[in-house]
Structure 1
């Protein structure tokens, strides 16, 4: 199990609202990713953060 201090931190920015695609307008995670975050491994969290970066980039275009 990961040491608590070494856990990948949540990208939450306390702007919690899901858009029509079930993606948070604040952190760009899906509703499912938000719900599962606390039970994910660090590797799973890193993968989600890659998805987050891609989603965020799309919103900036």
Structure 2
């Protein structure tokens, strides 16, 4: 893991609440992703942001049912 500064903006929206699977209902990160964010490399952060996008889509689709 890298301690270098990253240009990837944190997805945190300051609305932290974990569901039963340890996913934040505010930013859609998993607890382990939240914990490593500050020391993650830029590539790891980008991977997390991509995973967040997928989770948001899944959540939106499930709410339409």
TM-score by length of 2: 0.83
**Within the alignment, does 1:8 sit opposite 2:28 as a pair?**
no
Deviation at 1:31, TM superposition (A): 0.4
CA shift digits 1:9-45 (9 cap, x unpaired): 1100011000011100000000000000000000000
**Unaligned 5+ runs, structure 1:** none
* 1:29-48 correspondence to structure 2 within 5 Å: 29-48=29-48
Task: Tell me: higher relative CO, structure 1 or 2? Use CA pairs within 8 A at least 6 residues apart.
Answer: 2
Q: Which has the larger radius of gyration?
A: 2
**Unaligned 5+ runs, structure 2:** none
* C-alpha RMSD over aligned residues: 1.3
Q: How many residues align?
A: 59
